[in-house]
Amino acid sequence: MSVDQAFSLARTRYAALGIDAEAAVQAVLDIPISLHCWQGDDVSGHLFRDQALSGGIMATGSYPGRAQNAVQLRADLDMALSLIPGRHKLNLHAIYADTEEKVDLDGLTPRHFERWVEWAAPRGMGLDFNPTCFSHPMAASGLTISHADPSVADFWVRHCQVCRVIAMDLARQTGQTCVLNLWFPDGMKDTPADIAAPRARMAAALDRVFQSGTLPGVVETLESKVFGIGSESYVVGSNEFCLGYAATRNRGVCLDTGHFHPTESVADKIPTVLLYVPSLLLHLSRPVRWDSDHVVTLDDTVTSIAHTLVRTNTLAKTHIGLDYFDASINRVAAWVIGARNARLALLQALLEPVAAIQQAENAGDYTARLAITEQAKTLPWSAVWDYACAQAGVPTDWLDTVRAYERDILKVR
């Protein structure tokens, strides 16, 4: 049976439940998903190649073919993008400045990212951005913007300030919203005597970062964390801190699926957070026992997030990005697998008969609510996915293409 024939049958099944499968395909292909550049080179970046990873970040594995420079990284991204349906953006960290200049983090300017703009603009891709507050001598103590030493805190304030300027320029040049996400590794391995002062210092420092007000074309978010390597006992930027700060300063919040206790539901947090902040950034990852940043699979966490976004009509306020770094498998395949699964979860959610489920709920018919919800799981969504891939001009089966790229390009680096 051809892809079109299978889709025709599936479309009929969905139409009987009041769902326009064709509209769902067009909608899911139009949702931007931001690919994270750091998957391609194990968070090495281009500014400080001799600097060891810090801040609780660890890329494990030694699979061959890691990108050694920006040219190779963009080539790998192009290969990945050719196999992923739909609209995409690229998420850059500050250490991915593509320049021959010797410049520190607080001296970065938009010109250091011109080559990324020249690559993204013809592809119709927006660029997201992040200050890099780790893997730097000024972060060696485990504290950055919350440090008690003004010379250290001031350095990181300046870095965040120049990143805001860069984000505004990326938005202007690409004509698309740039999400600027601020995450700080600040914390302590053992229990501190004073847990209040670092948070007060972080709040005051952030006020200095944002003192120029909101920026055109830029959505700014704060990302919290439960713990990390080297900050097992205390994290300054906790969920309560980031949510409280964002809610009182009209900033967005980033929810990373790896930054919460395994029993917490990120999906459940989404509609609550959006009651108090103007926008939400989701970092999709797959934690295994800790924030180990595994490749996104089509698991309960991702599917429940997608269903929540659709059921609560909060997609318009939400920005979706990937955030993991797996060096144990082919890095291009890691992008493809994670991005396709993120979009597939969204398609499943868009194909759910939400109106019928909510009608049953509003009528107090919880038997029908459960029955329809479960029935939807067996509907022929895979036929709709194959059609979506065909519409986007990408293959359904892609592994052999990546293997050929590995053989011809990655293994000869």
**For this structure, is 259 an active site residue?**
yes
Task: Let me know if residue 281 belongs to a domain.
Answer: yes
Domain residues for the domain of 304 are 31-354
Task: Let me know if residue 382 belongs to a domain.
Answer: no
Active site residue: 256, 326, 352, 386, which one? 256
Task: Let me know if residue 318 belongs to a domain.
Answer: yes
Task: Let me know if residue 283 belongs to a domain.
Answer: yes
Task: Let me know if residue 17 belongs to a domain.
Answer: no
Per DSSP, 296 falls in state: P
Active site residue: 169, 186, 220, 223, which one? 223
Q: Please report, as a single letter, which amino acid is at residue 376.
A: A
Active site residue: 88, 89, 136, 225, which one? 225
Give DSSP secondary structure letters for 325-388: ---SS-HHHHHHHHHHHHHHHHHHHHTS-HHHHHHHHHTT-HHHHHHHHHHHTTS-HHHHHHHH
Active site residue: 116, 183, 335, 381, which one? 183
Task: Single out the residue of 334, 333, 316 nearest to residue 325, CA to CA.
Answer: 334
**For this structure, is 317 an active site residue?**
no
Task: Let me know if residue 388 belongs to a domain.
Answer: no
Q: What is the pLDDT of residue 335?
A: 98
Q: What is the pLDDT of residue 103?
A: 95
Task: Let me know if residue 2 belongs to a domain.
Answer: no
Active site residue: 293, 352, 386, 406, which one? 293
For 304-357, write each residue's pLDDT tens digit: 999 999 999 999 999 999 999 999 999 999 999 999 999 999 999 999 999 999
Report whether pLDDT(282) > 90: yes
Look at phi and psi of residue 279 and say left if phi exceeds 0, alpha if psi is from -120 to 50, else beta: beta
Task: Let me know if residue 378 belongs to a domain.
Answer: no
**For this structure, is 283 an active site residue?**
yes
Per DSSP, 233 falls in state: S
Report whether pLDDT(48) > 90: no
**For this structure, is 36 an active site residue?**
no
CB 180 within 8 A of CB 190: no
**For this structure, is 256 an active site residue?**
yes
Q: How confident is the model at residue 372 (pLDDT cuts 50, 70, 90)?
A: very high
68-77, 284-293, 397-406: least confident range: 284-293
Q: CATH number of the domain that 334 lies in?
A: 3.20.20.150
Number of structural domains found in the chain: 1
Structure tokens belonging to residue 237: 């930027």
Residue matched to tokens 């050694």: 68
**For this structure, is 156 an active site residue?**
no
Q: What is the pTM of this model?
A: 0.95
For 6-24, write each residue's pLDDT tens digit: 999 999 999 999 999 999 9
Please calculate the CA angle 144-146-147 and round it to the nearest 5 degrees.
70
**For this structure, is 186 an active site residue?**
no
Q: What is the pLDDT of residue 6?
A: 95
User: To the nearest whole number, what is the mean pLDDT of the chain?
Assistant: 95
Active site residue: 169, 291, 386, 406, which one? 291
Report percent pLDDT > 70 for the chain. Answer: 98
